[in-house]
Amino acid sequence: MFLSIATTHRPATDLGFLLHKHPNRLHEIELTFGKAWVFYPEATDERCEAALVLDVDPVGLVRGKGQGDGLLDHYVNDRPYAASSFLSVAFNKAFRTAMAGTCVARQDLADSALPLEAVVTPLPMRGGEPLVRQLFEPLGWHVEIEPLGEAPKLYARLVLRGEARLSALLTHLYVLIPVLDDTKHYWVGEDEIDKLLKRGEGWLDRHPAKDLIVRRYLRHRGLLARAALERLAPQMQDEAAEPETQAAPEETLEAPIRLHDARLEMVVATLRAIGPKRIVDLGCGEGKLLQLLLRESWARELIGLDPSARVLERAARRLKLNQPGGPPEGRLTLLHGSLTYRDDRWTGADAAALVEVIEHLDPDRLPLVERVVFGAARPKTVVVTTPNADYNVLFPTLAAGAFRHPDHRFEWTRTEFAAWADRIGATYNYQASMSGIGHEDATHGAPSQMAVFTR
Amino acid sequence: MRKSDQYIEIPDFALVVLIGSTGSGKSTFAAKHFRPTEVISSDRCRGLVSDDETDQSVTGDAFDLVREIAGKRLKNRKLTVIDATNVRAADRKSWIELARRWHALPVAIVIDPGIDICIERNQLRPDRPFGGEIVRRMVSEIRRGQRGLEGEGFRQVWKLTSAEDVDAVTLTRVPLWTDKRTDHGPFDIIGDVHGCADELQEMLTKLGYEIIWSNADGTRNVAVSHPQGRKAVFVGDLVDRGPNSPDVLRIAMSMQADGTGHVVQGNHDRKLERWLAGRKVTIAHGLQQTIDQLQAESEEFRKGLPKFLSSLRSHVWLDQGRLAVAHAGLKAEMIGRGSGAVREFALFGETTGEIDEFGLPVRADWAANYRGDTTVVYGHTPLLKADWVNNTICIDTGCVFGGKLTALRWPEKELVEVAADKVWSEPLRPLAAPRSDTSAQAEADQLLDIKDVSGRRWIDTELRGRIVVAEENASAALEVMSRFALAPHWLAYLPPTMSPSETSEAEGWLERPEEAFAHFRERNVTEVICEEKHMGSRAVIALCRSAAVAQMRFGIAGDESGAIWTRTGRSFFSDIATTEGLLARLRDAVGTTRLWDELGSDWLLFDAEIMPWSAKANSLIENQYAPVATSSAAGLAAAIDALIRAGARTNEIAALRERFAERARRAGLYGKAWAPYVWPVSGIEDLKVAPFHLLASEGRVWFDQDHVWHMSLADRLAEAANGVVTRTAWHQVALADDAACADAIRWWEDLTAKGGEGMVVKPRDFVSRGPKGLIQPALKVRGREYLRIIYGPEYDAPDNLMRLRQRGLGGKRALALREFALGHEALKRFVAREPLRRVHECVFAVLALESEPIDPRL
């Protein structure tokens, strides 16, 4: 990775004083993850340019980390090459005094705005060109972006131009390069908040993209991000509590109509009218339905089942399972399991909910799930919801024939869903009643649909 | 109650409850007659939970612990002794319940040497500061209650009423009456006879028995024997409905008496027993016929019946525990045990509580849930055809209803049938046909149980013994298997991981063929096969001759004619059309080579590589490899440009420029490394398949053929030349022949220099064993440029290479062997038509093991 800083201040070679690096020498900087060198490709009175090149040790990076960092870290990746927190760490070490805005010999220079130009390459652009501009332009930089490689354009050569103190340029880069990289840092620790606040002093609290910067900078450290924002701007705390996540495409699509909330409320209302004591949420995901059901006193015992252990952990956190303030012992159980296997652990539930689950199963596995739920476990009540494919034409951004979510294996029209419900009813001896969820369109029906099976 | 001064005889599986006051000598008695591990003492448990064996305040906890330990022992079918005072009926109630829960016989032994002795003994023990009053109260309570012990549920009650008796008594253990594990047969298990004496005799004759009738003193007698010493086992329901129950009884009674047969009790036999005993029974379901037939028999014969009928057991456990026979079946946890529940289950099976349209109870499908290792043979429910389900088989084929009489030969597992002479009795409901035209097993296989795959699992494999799958690994595989993999019915196999050869020390190389050859040479392999390693994606191909075959053999519901899946069980192609298109071409190739007939199979399972790599790995290339190429090239180019502009101001700059130029050169090679493996795919014509193993076909796992056979077969398919099957270059190399080895190395060098991925070296035999057991079935030797893709642009810089050589292969190799053995086991079970769960557990285990943290670059 490569960083250069140039100035046309006269005499330009003053840059050497500011950076505390003599223009005629090659400076070598030892780092835990490799080596960096600083040298001057150009050093005249008119223009002076300092370059920092970084040689990350690709073998040491993997071997040193060993296990526990996830297998992908063992696999070949762009970490040794793409500008990232490694680069920030390297130039922080190389230009420490300049970063701090001090210059023993020429403090006036350090304190004054100079005409500066910085080049960073290859800069990862997670968030694309617009985000690069969104981050640097409010800070007064003229931004030039030259995308690299073939599509998809993941990297760019970034050129920043403007008049500023050198320390401002360096601290901006120090914070914003990792933000654009948006990958796990190898060095985020407890003191990162202090570092961030220190580096961000005087500009971060006024930056329009402040939230995003803080969250991404303290990536994978949700608690840290929250604490940092609290100190930065106490009123922001609540919004920052949820780590930044890529909203699922389905949610984005359906967001304007708040469909998922409507869906969950309707399922809860349906169950409330029937009053089952023991309810199993099959495919509970992160536990949104369970969270609503926990508030209902008639729902004595709740079980959540999901095939993803990772998602269940999140559900356990959301629902405060086995935590102070969480549900009393025995009220809620989370089970790692799958609908394609018969499972005694939840057999005997009075009601089962399959909310937006069946469309995530391959059609050839569906008969298996039917046998497990309606044939083997046979709860008195089964509530099934699934998108109404008829309604898809009303989503302006959804291509014709496309599904609402990339993991959907099918989406049914009202007729198809009704036919399925009829067949289930006949095969397994259940009565089915059908209804729509969400605002009903005269032609295409409601956005989502529900079948309530009882026996 | 038995007052015993000589001997006590108890079942070898029982819950023995000692009853006696403090100081009565229970612990001494227990120590004398039982192993220390068999005795659970309440005092000991008090100590375990409180550090004080006399602390009465922890009694509740101590007894919870006693119950817990006792329960675990009984679950494992271990005799267990409760050493506590057990004075009151209320104290003893929970032991009765525990015994029932695990189907163990509860046995009470009352130890009552006299009040004075107890008091005297307590006085000698400093930790028992009890006054005589407590002992007196205890003893009197025991004496008051002991008459009711049998009423409480104890199946045996023994009483020792003096110190001498306690000392002198001997205790012996006898097997349960149902436990005939030492009887190895061989057996012929005969289904419900229901008075069909002629068909029974025809069956016995067909099975090779000699039947001799005699008539002495006006009584009709019969003797049945088998020249090879085989024994008959009757599943019960000898009587009712049929024309000649008395003769059937004669045969069964005589065989049981002679030791040439076992008879278990059927519900009809029990009802007859109760009727004979004068109990009030509803005369229905053919009992009247039996009663009428018995009227014609002699007094003598009738008198003998109650003894015989009451001697019949709920089930019989035979042949080292491999076989159990019960009238209506038996759950795994009931075999070789005794309780009211066992008897009820054995007689009537399990019902759902519902009544069907014929007014008969709806039977619960216990066999579909059966997971035991013991084969269970049973009758009771007339079926059209006997069929295996999960290691159980019902052999009642409704002889009396005009069906047939069925026998199962054991251990041969052959079915022998005799057609009914006529419809002797109209069935209340038609004989149950299988619900579809697939087998009963396929029907039961429709549902797998979470217990079949979750938790810590042990799988016994033929190739490598017992393989353990850790709970966390199984857990990791669940999501992939249930959400992304193909239906389990297809997945008869997942391929094992493959280790690279030992690391080369040659300068500039990480892997070379020399190490692979040496590896096998050291393990006494004389000949290896070197196969070109195609750079594509691994695929397992199930190819059926038609969709009908796929439905029949794989039990799938859809109309696919086969399936192609990846190493993790996912469908190789996202659309069915591509899969079916490719299968159609392969079907052509197999048809042209006449393999269907040659192998006598309508389906084949291949291990193959499908090219191009980009067909499957495009997202990997886009998200993983291409970014490395782009970012490394850009950063290094900028650095070199800056270094050039810096000029040669110092020597150091020049040296640094050299260094970066070398890095840029390697980065440039990286960008080109995968080009040979990438080509656009617009249709099936652009795909290439290279099969290299024929894994299995009907009735056969082909691991017994060597790789020359497999590769010759692959060559034939490639020659069938419809373009889709590509030839895999391969060489046979004798490891003692240096010239041959050198040739093979040159071939590998050429191959990899031209951009080939590398080669796979396999011992000629598919399954090879060396002095230390199973040998790696294959080692890969990858080319220099291919390794660049995996290890990164600069992996071969001298100081990087030096460090990369420190790679450990042990974990990868152990994994490869375990997965190989599991894959073989899965195929073996699939070919033997074992229940799906037995195949699935092996395949699931391979997937689970893949979640082991192993360096993915190996």
Chain B residue closest to A358 (CA)? B483
Classify residue B434 by its DSSP letter. Answer: P
Task: Grade residue B2 by pLDDT with cuts at 50, 70 and 90.
Answer: low
Instruction: Write out pLDDT tens, residues B351-371.
Output: 766 666 666 666 667 888 888
Lowest mean pLDDT among B145-149, B319-323, B615-619, B753-757: B615-619
Tokens 């394609």 — which residue?
A340
Lowest mean pLDDT among A104-113, B404-413, B667-676: B667-676
* B660/chain A closest Cα distance in angstroms: 9
In this predicted structure, what is the pLDDT of residue A68? Answer: 36
Selected from 3.60.21.10, 3.20.20.70, 3.90.1150.10, 3.30.950.10, the CATH number assigned to the domain covering B179-444 reads 3.60.21.10
End-to-end Cα separation, chain A, in angstroms: 66
DSSP-based three-state secondary structure for A100: helix
Q: Quick check: A454 and A276 in contact, CB under 8 A?
A: no
**Percentage of chain B modeled with pLDDT above 70:** 96
| SS3 sequence of B572-591 | CCCCHHHHHHHHHHHHHHHH
How many Cβ pairs within 8 Å bridge chains A and B?
181
| Residue-wise DSSP of B207-227 | TT-EEEEEEETTEEEEEEE-T
Contacts of B636 in chain A (CB under 8 A): 81
Q: What angle do CA B842, B844, B847 make, to 5 degrees?
A: 115
Task: Grade residue B538 by pLDDT with cuts at 50, 70 and 90.
Answer: very high
Helix or strand run (H / E) with residue A71: none
Residue of A26, A58, A361 with shortest CB distance to B794: A58
Task: Grade residue B456 by pLDDT with cuts at 50, 70 and 90.
Answer: confident
- Whether A219 has a pLDDT exceeding 70, the answer reads no
Task: Grade residue B544 by pLDDT with cuts at 50, 70 and 90.
Answer: very high
Q: What angle do CA A269, A274, A280 make, to 5 degrees?
A: 80
Chain-chain contact of B478 with A336 (C-beta, under 8 angstroms): yes
Q: Is A71 on the interface with B (CB under 8 A)?
A: yes
Residue A261: which of A451, A443, A447 has the closest Cα?
A447
In this predicted structure, what is the pLDDT of residue A33? Answer: 80
* A302/chain B closest Cα distance in angstroms: 20
Instruction: Report the amino acid identity of residue B184.
Output: H
Chain B residue closest to A369 (CA)? B447
Mean pLDDT of A82-94: 88
- Whether B759 has a pLDDT exceeding 90, the answer reads yes
Q: Please give the radius of gyration of chain B, using alpha carbons only, rounded to the nearest integer.
A: 36
Q: Is A153 on the interface with B (CB under 8 A)?
A: no
- Whether A366 has a pLDDT exceeding 60, the answer reads yes
Distance CA B22, CA B85 (A): 7
Instruction: Write out pLDDT tens, residues B340-351.
Output: 889 989 998 887
Determine if the peptide bond prior to B612 is cis (ω within 30°). yes
Determine if the peptide bond prior to B186 is cis (ω within 30°). yes
Q: Are residues A55 and A172 in the same domain?
A: yes
Number of residues that this document lists for chain B: 858
Residue B104: which of B13, B33, B39, B26 has the closest Cα?
B13
Instruction: Report the amino acid identity of residue B223.
Output: A
More confident residue, B468 or B128: B468
Determine if the peptide bond prior to B106 is cis (ω within 30°). no
Residue A157: which of A117, A116, A183, A119 has the closest Cα?
A119
Instruction: Write out pLDDT tens, residues A282-299.
Output: 999 999 999 999 999 899
- Number of domains chain A is built from: 2
Q: Is A360 on the interface with B (CB under 8 A)?
A: yes
Distance CA B796, CA B662 (A): 11
Distance CA A137, CA B88 (A): 88
Q: Are residues A164 and A294 in the same domain?
A: no
Chain-chain contact of A155 with B656 (C-beta, under 8 angstroms): no
Distance CA A125, CA A176 (A): 11
Q: Quick check: A83 and A3 in contact, CB under 8 A?
A: yes
* A113/chain B closest Cα distance in angstroms: 25
In a domain, A67, yes or no: yes
In this predicted structure, what is the pLDDT of residue A70? Answer: 36
Instruction: Write out pLDDT tens, residues B14-70.
Output: 999 999 998 898 999 999 999 999 999 999 999 999 999 888 899 999 999 999 999
For the record, the structure tokens of A345 come out as: 């652990």
Helix or strand run (H / E) with residue B296: none
Q: Are residues A25 and A133 in the same domain?
A: yes
- Whether A230 has a pLDDT exceeding 70, the answer reads no
Helix or strand run (H / E) with residue A89: helix A85-94
Instruction: Write out pLDDT tens, residues B778-814.
Output: 999 999 988 988 888 888 888 888 888 888 888 899 9
Phi (first) and psi of residue A223, to 5 degrees: -65, -40
In this predicted structure, what is the pLDDT of residue B100? Answer: 92
CATH classification code of B504-534+729-806? 3.30.1490.70
What contacts 24+ positions apart, CB below 8 Å, involve B428-431?
A: B428/B358, B428/B359, B428/B360, B429/B356, B429/B358, B429/B360, B431/B382, B431/B383, B431/B384, B431/B397, B431/B398, B431/B401, B431/B403
Classify residue B313 by its DSSP letter. Answer: B
Hey, of A25, A28, A39, which one would you mutate to test binding to chain B, going by the most B CBs within 10 A of its CB? A39
Instruction: Report the amino acid identity of residue A27.
Output: H
Neighbours of B695 (CB within 10 A): 27
Chain-chain contact of A345 with B855 (C-beta, under 8 angstroms): no
Residue A349: which of A408, A305, A307 has the closest Cα?
A305
Domain definitions of chain B by residue range:
2-174, 179-444, 448-498+808-858, 504-534+729-806, 536-611+688-727, 613-677
Task: Say which CATH number the domain at A308 has.
Answer: 3.40.50.150
Chain-chain contact of B792 with A58 (C-beta, under 8 angstroms): yes
Mean pLDDT of B243-272: 94
Neighbours of A426 (CB within 10 A): 10
Contacts of B795 in chain A (CB under 8 A): 58-59
In this predicted structure, what is the pLDDT of residue A234? Answer: 39
CATH classification code of B2-174? 3.40.50.300
Helix or strand run (H / E) with residue B429: none
Chain A residue closest to B799 (CA)? A59
Distance CA A42, CA B75 (A): 83
Residue B206: which of B376, B415, B423 has the closest Cα?
B415
HSE (side-chain half, CA atoms, 13 Å) at A36: 27
Q: Quick check: A271 and A279 in contact, CB under 8 A?
A: yes
Q: Are residues A169 and A317 in the same domain?
A: no
- Whether B683 has a pLDDT exceeding 90, the answer reads no
Task: Say which CATH number the domain at A85 has.
Answer: 3.30.1610.20
With a CB-CB cutoff of 8 Å, which residues 321-340 of chain A face chain B? 336-340
Lowest mean pLDDT among A57-61, A432-436, B46-50, B240-244: A57-61
In a domain, A205, yes or no: no
Task: Grade residue B671 by pLDDT with cuts at 50, 70 and 90.
Answer: confident
Q: Are residues A136 and A261 in the same domain?
A: no
Which residue among A136, A160, A187 closes a domain?
A187
For the record, the structure tokens of A117 come out as: 């130009």
- Whether B513 has a pLDDT exceeding 60, the answer reads yes
Q: What angle do CA A288, A248, A318 make, to 5 degrees?
A: 30
Strand pairing of B14-19 and B105-111?
A: parallel
Q: What angle do CA B648, B654, B657 make, to 5 degrees?
A: 120
pTM of the model as a whole: 0.75
Mean pLDDT of A303-331: 88
Task: Grade residue A386 by pLDDT with cuts at 50, 70 and 90.
Answer: very high
* A229/chain B closest Cα distance in angstroms: 32
With a CB-CB cutoff of 8 Å, which residues 638-667 of chain B face chain A? 638-639, 641-643, 645-646, 649-650, 652-653, 656, 659-660, 663
Sheet architecture: strand order including B562-565: B562-565, B537-544, B603-611, B688-697, B700-701
Tokens 């009704």 — which residue?
A418
Chain-chain contact of B478 with A339 (C-beta, under 8 angstroms): no
Q: Quick check: B563 and B486 in contact, CB under 8 A?
A: yes
In a domain, A200, yes or no: no
Determine if the peptide bond prior to B793 is cis (ω within 30°). no
Distance CA A30, CA A90 (A): 9
Classify residue B775 by its DSSP letter. Answer: P
With a CB-CB cutoff of 8 Å, which residues 657-716 of chain B face chain A? 659-660, 663
* B597/chain A closest Cα distance in angstroms: 31
Distance CA A236, CA A239 (A): 6
What contacts 24+ positions apart, CB below 8 Å, involve B804-810?
A: B804/A59, B804/B510, B805/B503, B805/B505, B805/B510, B806/A63, B807/B503, B807/B855, B807/B858, B808/B855, B809/B499, B809/B500, B809/B502, B809/B503, B809/B858
Q: Is B800 on the interface with A (CB under 8 A)?
A: yes
Chain-chain contact of A342 with B794 (C-beta, under 8 angstroms): no
Chain mean pLDDT for chain B? 90
DSSP-based three-state secondary structure for A171: helix
DSSP-based three-state secondary structure for B318: strand
Residue of A53, A150, A341 with shortest CB distance to B448: A341
In a domain, A241, yes or no: no
In a domain, A222, yes or no: no
* B538/chain A closest Cα distance in angstroms: 19
Residue B4: which of B142, B131, B77, B107 has the closest Cα?
B107
Number of residues that this document lists for chain A: 455
Neighbours of B611 (CB within 10 A): 21
In this predicted structure, what is the pLDDT of residue B54? Answer: 85
Chain centre distance of CA A195: 23
Domain carrying residue A389: 249-454
Q: Is A428 on the interface with B (CB under 8 A)?
A: no
Instruction: Write out pLDDT tens, residues A130-184.
Output: 999 999 999 999 999 999 887 677 899 999 999 999 999 999 999 899 888 877 5
Task: Grade residue A64 by pLDDT with cuts at 50, 70 and 90.
Answer: very low
Q: Quick check: B517 and B761 in contact, CB under 8 A?
A: yes
| CA-to-CA dists, residue B269 to B203, B241, B274, B314, angstroms | 21, 12, 9, 11
Neighbours of B162 (CB within 10 A): 13
Chain-chain contact of B856 with A75 (C-beta, under 8 angstroms): yes
Distance CA A84, CA A122 (A): 9
Contacts of A78 in chain B (CB under 8 A): 627-628, 631-632
Residue of B449, B482, B634 with shortest CB distance to A155: B634
Which residue among A171, A187, A203 closes a domain?
A187
In this predicted structure, what is the pLDDT of residue B216? Answer: 78
In this predicted structure, what is the pLDDT of residue B436? Answer: 46
Instruction: Report the amino acid identity of residue A392.
Output: N
Q: Quick check: B757 and B534 in contact, CB under 8 A?
A: yes
Phi (first) and psi of residue A391, to 5 degrees: -80, -15
In this predicted structure, what is the pLDDT of residue B490? Answer: 94
* B793/chain A closest Cα distance in angstroms: 9
- Whether A238 has a pLDDT exceeding 80, the answer reads no
Residue of A155, A336, A371 with shortest CB distance to B631: A155
Helix or strand run (H / E) with residue B721: none
Q: Is B449 on the interface with A (CB under 8 A)?
A: yes
Strand pairing of B80-83 and B39-41?
A: parallel
Q: Quick check: B478 and B547 in contact, CB under 8 A?
A: no
Hey, of B480, B631, B657, B788, which one would you mutate to test binding to chain A, going by the most A CBs within 10 A of its CB? B631
Chain B residue closest to A57 (CA)? B800
Chain B residue closest to A146 (CA)? B634
CATH classification code of B536-611+688-727? 3.30.470.30
For the record, the structure tokens of A427 come out as: 């095969």
Query: Going by C-beta distance under 8 Å and a sequence separation of 6 or more, which residues neighbour residue B485?
Result: B491, B565, B568, B569, B570, B847
Q: Are residues A131 and A38 in the same domain?
A: yes
Highest mean predicted confidence (pLDDT) among A250-264, A316-330, B553-567, B677-691: B553-567
| CA-to-CA dists, residue B278 to A148, B272, B546, angstroms | 98, 10, 63
